[in-house]
Amino acid sequence: MKKQRAERLYLVYRKFLSEALKPLNDGRLQNLIENCPDLIQISKEIETNGFDDFDSRVQEKKLIEKLNRLDDLIAQENGIKVDMSALEFEPIDPENVRKSIIVAAKQQEIEKLKIVLQNLNNTNDELAQEDELIKKELEKSCEKIEETNQLIQNSVYS
């Protein structure tokens, strides 16, 4: 792809110059030679000078660099177009987005509820311990009441 445009331009100019000088090389050559003996030499010089002049102009650094840069940019653009197709995304379904947001929110709620459940379980454990202490205290009190009742009964009947 590189230098392709410069080569094509050179070929077009060579063809143009050859076609322009063709009438000098036809069957009229004999007639022209008789009337102008230096015609063949002039024709060759025109052709040579034309090609040399064109060659020197085409070989100028800026023209070739610009044409090559153009080819590079075109190739790069074609490459980018191909690469961009590889980056195509599937369309986003709003329902799936909504569901994923709801799922995330529900997961957060579940985590909060787990913390609340843990706190309630801790509170229940503390209350169960207090309940045990109260029961033991009540049992002791009941035992003392029984003892006191026994003492009272023993003292009344004795």
Give the whole-angstrom CA distance, residue 118 versus residue 21: 102
Neighbours of 77 (CB within 10 A): 10
Instruction: Please report the pLDDT score of residue 74 as a whole number.
Output: 81
Instruction: Please report the pLDDT score of residue 144 as a whole number.
Output: 93
Q: In order along the chain (158 residues), what is the average pLDDT of each group of 10 residues?
A: 68 71 58 64 71 69 75 75 59 81 91 94 95 94 92 82
Instruction: Please report the pLDDT score of residue 30 as a whole number.
Output: 63
Instruction: Please report the pLDDT score of residue 143 as a whole number.
Output: 94
* pTM of the full structure: 0.35
**What size, in residues, is the chain?**
158
Instruction: Please report the pLDDT score of residue 91 as a whole number.
Output: 74
Environment class of 68 (CB within 10 Å of its CB; exposed 0-12, middle 13-18, buried 19+): middle
